[in-house]
Amino acid sequence: MAATVSFTIDSPLGPRTTTVAYERKGAGEPLLLLHGIGHHLQAWHPVADVLAAGHDVIAVDLPGFGASDPLPRGVPYSLDSVAPALGALCAALGVERPHVAGNSLGGLLALEMGRRNLARSVTALSPAGFWTEAERRYAFAALLAMRAGARALPVPAVRRLARSAAGRAALTGTIYARPARRSPQDVVAETLALRHATGFEDTLAAGGSVRFTHDVPGLPVTVAWGTRDRLLLRRQGVRAKETIPGARLVRLPGCGHVPMHDDPALVARVVLDTARSASGVPHPHG
């Protein structure tokens, strides 16, 4: 069951308070989990228990998604706003520089947290921001189509579709390589999360000009890409490696854009290996 925490973030209009939903389990070094646009923290459920065996795992609904409040009025859904807000969230939870793993939008945010010295290691699964303009337009069109479908379909129709393998593929085949394996109730829940995501349009608008062009020195970084990612094509991983030369680039065979469901064991191992490699790495600022 998700808990909530309220905290203060800076904005062009001065300090503002927001509330974020999260789930926390396990013990050990902190590990923050960030989902993609239109999704919710339940995206991490397939790997959370394995990760929590050795870590204090905190999975969050990003502001404007899942059960979290939208960002306060006047606060843009930009990297410059959301990454520091996640740092403020960690402080409110008593956590300093967690390991961070993120998928898609969450992967981009994880890298930005690493760049800002707000993370001790970063695992970015199919992170946004390494696209060409044509690739970005393609991905945004696919996301908008998914959003339009989620909003247009009556809830009883979503439930009916989710009962069959073909229906689950129609609803979520853009982001999963193996959508038929998803449970009907999970597909309904994530379709409704996409339907009700108050931050979707503003996040997409803010992402229109985003290119991640910075190195992330001084901490372990893994960029992992599913070989069957239909949303952000895997050649973008090569660009990520060129941008962050010290990063480890990992293939996720048979996985789609949200690999935590397609191969939970492999994704958990990649995240844990990255966190483990942070042992003995000096703090970037002493």
Mean per-residue pLDDT, 12-21 = 90
Strand partners, 191: none
Identify the pLDDT of residue 117.
Answer: 96
By the 8 A CB rule, do 97 and 119 touch?
yes
- Tens of pLDDT along 160-219? 999 999 999 999 999 999 998 899 999 999 999 999 999 999 999 999 999 999 999 999
For the ranges 3-12, 189-198, 259-268, which has the lowest average pLDDT? 3-12
Name the E strands within 61-206. Answer: 99-103, 121-125
| Predicted pLDDT of residue 130 | 98
Average pLDDT for the chain: 95
Please give the structure tokens belonging to residue 279. 């042992």
Tally the residues of the chain. 286
| pLDDT tier, 12 (very low <50, low <70, confident <90, very high otherwise) | confident
Beta pairing partners, 59: 23, 33
Residue-level pLDDT at 284: 44
Nearest C-alpha neighbor of 105 from the set 84, 85, 124, 90: 124
Q: CA 45, CA 51: separation in Å to the nearest integer?
A: 10
Using CA atoms, how far residue 206 sits from 76, 157, 200, 201, 267, in Å, is 8, 32, 10, 9, 28
Given a cut of 60, whether residue 280 has pLDDT beyond it is no
Task: Give tens-digit pLDDT for 22-68.
Answer: 999 999 999 999 999 999 999 999 999 999 999 999 999 999 999 99
Cα 81 from Cα 6, distance rounded (Å): 16
Under a CB-based contact definition with an 8 Å cutoff, are residues 198 and 64 in contact?
yes
Domains of the chain: 3-131+210-276 (3.40.50.1820), 135-195 (no CATH)
Gap between the Cα atoms of 170 and 164, Å rounded:
10
Does the pTM exceed 0.75? yes
